[in-house]
Every structure is written in structure tokens, then in C-alpha cells.
Amino acid sequence: MAGISLLLNLLKSAQGSSSSSSSSALLIHSHALFTASAAASAAAADIPISLPPNPSLLEPFLVMGISVAYCDAGAATAWNENFIPNLSSATENETSIAFECKKYPIEHRPLFSAFQLRPLALTSLRSFLQFYLPLIEIHPPVEDDDDFTLDVPEERHVDLLTPFHNSLKQIVRETSAVTIRRVLERLAVHYCSQRMAWKLLKDVSKSARRKAKRGMPAYLFWFNVSRTTFRGHALGIVASWIVQMIVAFYRYFIRKTYNVGENHKREEKIRLFWKEVYSSTIKFSSSLIFASIGAGIGALFHPSIGQWIGSSLGDLAGPFIIILVFEKLHLQI
């Protein structure tokens, strides 16, 4: 349609002139249109082309007083080698362009890693220090009303057997929690997607170190580290919660008390058990939340060590903070 309208305009502008000159002008312009279109098509197809014998045919001409250059926008640049795509060069450089998808490497830790020498030694040392350090607390001497110090301090009997039993129980709890976590990791790999399993199992400290190299803003870095810590710490919190529920079930339904006054009815035992479930769920959830927040804050000071210290402090402070909040609100936990 554009060609027909162009021819009609040329016929109108050529009135009064000789028929021979009009015919020759139409042939020239038609040849120019065909040459420019052919040049554009050849450039798109990467076909070698040559200039026509009369380059003046491609010079700008006037149509109804409007200057039209080459009748095609791409005809003028068709012969520039920098603008023509070269398929052979693209094929040669194809190997230099690598399109890699993000990989999610999953490293399985040993199922009974908690019973290895180093982890078991650290767990035992921490448990014994937790229960035996309060026994060496220094008590100031007691003074009477006359501000005279008593010459003979009151002797106290130190029970060393109870802290030992408590330490053994704590060791069993921690090793059981780590073993259950290893089982949950294998279940996550089997039932979850590879991407989600990698998020649950990856090393949070190494991830924080990688995020620190991206140069993101502080608030975004804190949010990403907190979210990563929440995912990476979730399986450990769930494993500890499962161990706590097993202990509570054993305490209320399996263990037999020999003192008749301590026996409870079945309904009372069920009520106490569900209260333990409710209280433990809130405490472990607060540990997970505050550990994530603390990890993000600590990572602002140091990506790996700060993240680990912040996560540990948040894990310990979470239950105490939630207890204070519930006491202020006069709620039971």
C-alpha cells in the first residue's frame, strides 16, 4: 500500500512534464526502493551484498516537499560491518559465554556426630560447668546486730551428687537433640525441594560472610542474615522441642512416684502436660526469633564471629525476655 500511494504522489507532482521523463523518474525511484529493501533484507540475513553500479540512485529525493533518505532506515547502515551481526564470530565465542545456574550443595553431617570425641567433650565440659560453678559461689560472712562478725561460720553441707546427675541429664539432652536434628536434616533432604533443603542445612556463618561481600545496605544485610539464621536454626530448635516433649511425657505419664501425696489424677497429668507443651513452645519460639535478631545485629560488627555470638546470646536471652513480658502482662507461661 505504501508503494502505491508513493506512486500516486509522484504522478501528481509530475503533471505538466513529459511522459518520457515521468516514466524514467518512476523507474529510478522504484529501483531505489527495491535496492534499499533488498539491502536491509540482506543485512538482516548476513548475506554479502555489493553497492549498485550507480550510487546516485540511493541519494535523498523529494516527495511532496518531504526529504526521504534511501526510503529505508536500515539501508544506510547496511554496509557498515560494525552493525551487521556475524554469525560465525558468535559461534566461535559461544564457548566463552557461560550461563551457570545457581547450585545448592548439600553436605550431610554424620548421623551420630554428637557422640564424636570433640563434640562430646565440649558438651560434657559445658554441662558440668553449668551445674558445678554455682557451688563455688563465695558467700560473705554473716554479721549480727552488734556489727560483730561471728567467729564460727555456719558449716554447710555441699551436695556434689545432685549436680553430677543433672550434668549427665543435660549431656543426654544435648546429644539427643543433635541426633534428632541430623534425622530431621535427612527428612528435609528427602521430602523438601533441593533449594529449601539447602536453606535449612547451609552454614549460616559462611552465608553471612558471603553476603557481606555484596556491598548491600546495613538494614538489608541485617534482614538477610536474620532470615538465613532463622532458617538454619529452625531444625535445631525443633529438635530441642521434641526432646523436651519426650522428657515431659516421661515425667507425667511413665515415671512412677513412690510418694502417694505427689500422685495426680489422670486429668491433672494431662493438664500439666499440655501446659508444659504450651510453655515450651513459647520459650523455644522466642529463642528462635531472638537468635535470628541477635545474629543480624552481631553480623553488622563481624560477618561470621559476630553472627555466631549474636545468635548464641539471642538464644539464651529469648526465654528470659518472654518470661518478663508475660509477667508484665500478668499471663501464665
102-125 average pLDDT score: 83
How confident is the model at residue 266, as a pLDDT?
81
Give domain status of residue 153, yes or no: no
Residues 90 and 122 in one domain: no
Q: Is the dihedral of CA 169, 173, 179, 183 positive or negative?
A: positive
How confident is the model at residue 170, as a pLDDT?
92
Give domain status of residue 150, yes or no: no
Residues 36/71, Cβ–Cβ less than 8 Å:
yes
pTM: 0.63
Give domain status of residue 306, yes or no: yes
**β-strands 66-68, 61-63 pairing:** antiparallel
Give domain status of residue 142, yes or no: no
Q: Cβ neighbours of residue 236 under 8 Å, at least 6 residues apart?
A: 177, 181
Residues 111 and 182 in one domain: yes
- How far apart are the C-alpha atoms of 291 and 309, rounded to whole Å? 9
| Share above pLDDT 90 across residues of the chain, in percent, rounded to a whole number | 35
- How far apart are the C-alpha atoms of 68 and 110, rounded to whole Å? 77
* Domain boundary residue, one of 44, 74, 96: 96
Residues 112 and 92 in one domain: no
3-state helix, strand, coil in the chain (%, to 5): 65, 0, 30
Question: What three-state secondary structure class fits 68?
Answer: strand
Residues 143/150, Cβ–Cβ less than 8 Å:
yes
**Of 55, 59, 81, nearest to 71 (Cα)?**
59
Instruction: Calculate ∠ Cα 256-261-265, nearest 5°.
Output: 65
Q: Please, which pLDDT band fits residue 135 given cuts at 50, 70 and 90?
A: confident
Residues 297 and 180 in one domain: no
- How far apart are the C-alpha atoms of 168 and 319, rounded to whole Å? 23
Residues 212 and 308 in one domain: yes
User: Whole domain around residue 50: which residue ranges?
Assistant: 2-96
Give domain status of residue 74, yes or no: yes
Query: Is residue 220's pLDDT more than 70?
Result: yes
Residues 45 and 118 in one domain: no
Residues 314 and 213 in one domain: yes
What is the amino acid identity at position 156?
A: R
> Mean pLDDT: which of 76-80, 150-154, 285-289 is highest?
285-289
Residues 80 and 122 in one domain: no
- How far apart are the C-alpha atoms of 144 and 311, rounded to whole Å? 47
Domain count, the chain: 3
Residues 332 and 207 in one domain: yes
pLDDT 10s digits, 15-40:
544 444 444 443 344 444 444 444 44
Q: Cβ neighbours of residue 56 under 8 Å, at least 6 residues apart?
A: none
Give domain status of residue 151, yes or no: no
- CB count in 10 Å sphere of residue 323: 15
Give domain status of residue 101, yes or no: no
- How far apart are the C-alpha atoms of 107 and 111, rounded to whole Å? 12
At CB < 8 A and 24+ separation, what contacts does 11-15 make?
13/63, 13/64
Give domain status of residue 152, yes or no: no
Q: Is the dihedral of CA 141, 142, 147, 152 positive or negative?
A: negative
Instruction: Give CA torsion, residues 295, 314, 284, 304, to 10 deg.
Output: 30
Point out which residues pair with 62 in neighbouring strands. Answer: 67
> Mean pLDDT: which of 53-62, 234-243, 253-262 is highest?
234-243
Residues 229 and 290 in one domain: yes
* Domain boundary residue, one of 68, 96, 124: 96
Residues 165 and 261 in one domain: no
Residue 84 Cα distances to 48, 69, 75, 263, 319, angstroms: 10, 20, 12, 92, 68
Residues 298 and 226 in one domain: yes
